[in-house]
């Protein structure tokens, strides 16, 4: 690190658990963020501010006035712009040195097979089960840790799906791909604006911990938040031996 970086990241370096070595790991890391909306906004901003070396940001959508109630990476004067370009501008305003690859595209199977192998970690900030399952399958196939979050109404959840050890469940262990779930969108149900900030910030924290080698991740645990009373529940998750994605049937 140069003198400017030592100064900028001094509050991380002062932490015994991170120090210079941990910060250097962050600077050398590459992360793929799927979604630049309510969850993706705080994730992207905190990854940039913390010094993650290269951030690949994927989202097909453009900024709409209705996004501004909760998607803090965007501003009124960027309505109509691609969300990834708007988020990149916000990230580089915080840290001009951050390398952001802004890709205005859907995270389909072809995209994921290209990009997941190139990064150290994936953060899923999407808003639909199809994308979440596709992201999970790619992470399992390429043995990349996945930080997954979701938020709607006053309810949020977060977990880490890390199949590298073979001990922890993947997303499909909890939500089987062949199960029908009702898709609920913000446009019809609404969402409490700070909720996406809480879950997104926790996603960023889990990602930074994994990259820097700090503490214990949420792998094998699902945290669920009731935003009405700010009550947290924790569910322990087990790997399913017959999971169609990560399992190995006897």
> pLDDT of 191-210, one tens digit each?
999 999 999 999 999 999 99
Number of other CB atoms surrounding residue 230 within 10 Å: 9
**Residue 8: inside a domain:** yes
Cβ burial 190-220 (10 Å sphere, 16+ → b, else e): ebbeebbbbbbbbbbbbbbbbbbebeebbbb
Place of tokens 């250097």: 24
Place of tokens 């100064």: 7
**Residue 103: inside a domain:** yes
How many separate domains does the chain show?
1
The predicted-structure confidence for 57-104, as pLDDT tens digits, reads as follows 999 999 999 999 999 999 999 999 999 999 999 999 999 999 999 999
Confirm whether 186 is a catalytic residue: yes
Q: Which of 125, 170, 173, 186 is catalytic?
A: 186
More confident residue, 163 or 47: 47
Look up the CATH number of the domain holding residue 214.
Answer: 3.40.50.720
Domain that holds residue 89: 3-236
The per-residue pLDDT for 23 is 97
Q: Could you tell me the pTM of the whole model?
A: 0.95
């Amino acid at each position: 690190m140069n003198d400017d970086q030592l100064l900028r990241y001094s509050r991380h370096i002062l932490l015994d658990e991170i120090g210079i070595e941990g910060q250097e790991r962050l600077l050398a890391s590459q992360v793929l963020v799927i979604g630049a909306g309510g969850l993706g906004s705080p994730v992207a901003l905190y990854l940039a501010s913390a010094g993650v070396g290269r951030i690949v940001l994927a989202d097909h959508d453009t900024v709409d006035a209705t996004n501004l109630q909760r998607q803090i990476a965007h501003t009124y004067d960027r309505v109509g712009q691609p969300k990834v370009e708007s988020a990149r501008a916000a990230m580089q305003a915080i840290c001009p040195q951050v390398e952001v690859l802004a890709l205005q595209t859907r995270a389909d199977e072809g995209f994921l097979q290209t990009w997941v192998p190139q990064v150290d970690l994936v953060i899923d900030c999407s808003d639909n089960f199809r994308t979440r399952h596709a992201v999970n399958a790619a992470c399992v196939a390429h043995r990349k840790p996945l930080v997954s979050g979701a938020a709607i109404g006053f309810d949020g959840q977060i977990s880490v799906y890390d199949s590298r050890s073979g001990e922890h469940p993947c997303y499909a262990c909890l939500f089987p791909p062949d199960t029908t779930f009702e898709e609920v969108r913000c446009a019809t149900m609404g969402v409490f604006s700070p909720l996406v900030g809480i879950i997104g910030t926790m996603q960023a924290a889990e990602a930074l911990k994994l990259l820097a080698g700090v503490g214990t991740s949420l792998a094998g645990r699902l945290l669920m938040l009731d935003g009405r009373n700010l009550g947290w529940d924790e569910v322990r998750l087990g790997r399913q031996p017959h999971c169609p994605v990560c399992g190995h049937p006897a």
